[in-house]
A and B are shown apart, each in its own frame.
Chain A
Amino acid sequence: LNNETKSWMALEDIEARVRALESLLVEKGFAEHEAVDAVVSAFENDMGPINGAKVVARAWTDPEYKKWLLEDATAAIADMGFTGLQSEHFLAVENTDDRHNMIVCTLCSCYPWTLLGIPPAWFKYPQYRARAVEEPRDVLREFGVELDEKVKIDVWDSSAEIRYLVIPKRPEGTDGMSVDELAKLVSREAMTGVALADSP
């Protein structure tokens, strides 16, 4: 049994109820079908991990920008244009040879929408949220990440309105790669700390 195969309501019943809710909200003037279409489309097409990857790739190649990002992530990320709902206040944390960061929201699923898109299912369901704060190393192993024993883990529980960005370590063998090429190595998993940046 798990949340993937089981649901309190049948999926078609949820769909029917969401459809009813939307039509009533439209009638009461709190929504409009076209506006809902536009918002879904924006989440699916305009926002997503490529935005965060551009920030990371710039930080990897521009030491001044990385310094700014670590000191004032809100301003440094806004400089790239990635402000917005659930992306109003940021803290950037950097992975190094002896430190690995991972992000969780134990109370709900707080996540920087504009910068990284809609959170992936593993971030939203209770399994990861329960365990990341107590057995982070085990959770990382489930994601295929085995850290050296000397690497200390910092877990960040986003319990208020600050959103987090992990700056993964720049992989070996990427000298001379362009910012655009580097950005392709940065997954949303790497920016939440359950993966390393991909190798070229």
Chain B
Amino acid sequence: MTGEERAEVPGLSALWLSGATLEQTAESVAQLALALRGCDGAGVQMLGAAGLDPSVGTDARSRDLNDLQDAVDDGPGRECLRTGAPLELHPTTPATAWPRFTSTARAAGLLACSALPLRSNGSRVGVLNLYAWEGMQFVGWDRSECDLFAAHAGVGLTNAQSLARNVQDIARLEHELGSPDDVYAEACGVLMERHHQSLSEARAQLAKAASQSQSSIDAEAQRVVKSLG
């Protein structure tokens, strides 16, 4: 185990998920990746349902390169997302390798890119794009160091995604619990408490009141609940 490996994994193992959004955790992972040898910028793109699929970068150039890969549907990161295979673009890689991405990216200053699959329990959860810029003395990627980092990053981001999914579920369930269907039941409860009624008596009173006022039972239930102030 190398000294560099030692520097990365503790950072990932200390990721604090509570109170952070999935996007913020992805940004933290990208920032930690900057300590990898040869890495001048990093991006994380995650697979998942809406709201669980952030795309982040450590800087504007990294974010632009992530966006470029998405826009032209080409590039090592894009292909890695599709296939799950780690891919590298080197200074000597022919532009024909990813024809819609490579030339434009090189014109923007990209020297090399390593796209590493983020996995968890064998499933693909996203891609980690490591970028090296021209003029930054690129010395090559240490494959084992990068693989170890990606392996732990995949688990950390999966955990963040699990927590974010629960947060989404909680918001959805709370919304559903507060939907109008709840008002009818609430109105019954109000009448039961106010008039010492049974549930069937409360339901009957709502139906009778709706009939007398020529409104719907739902509207009558709303009226009862609103009367609480």
Indicate whether A and B interact: no
Question: CB within 8 Å of B: which residues of A?
Answer: none
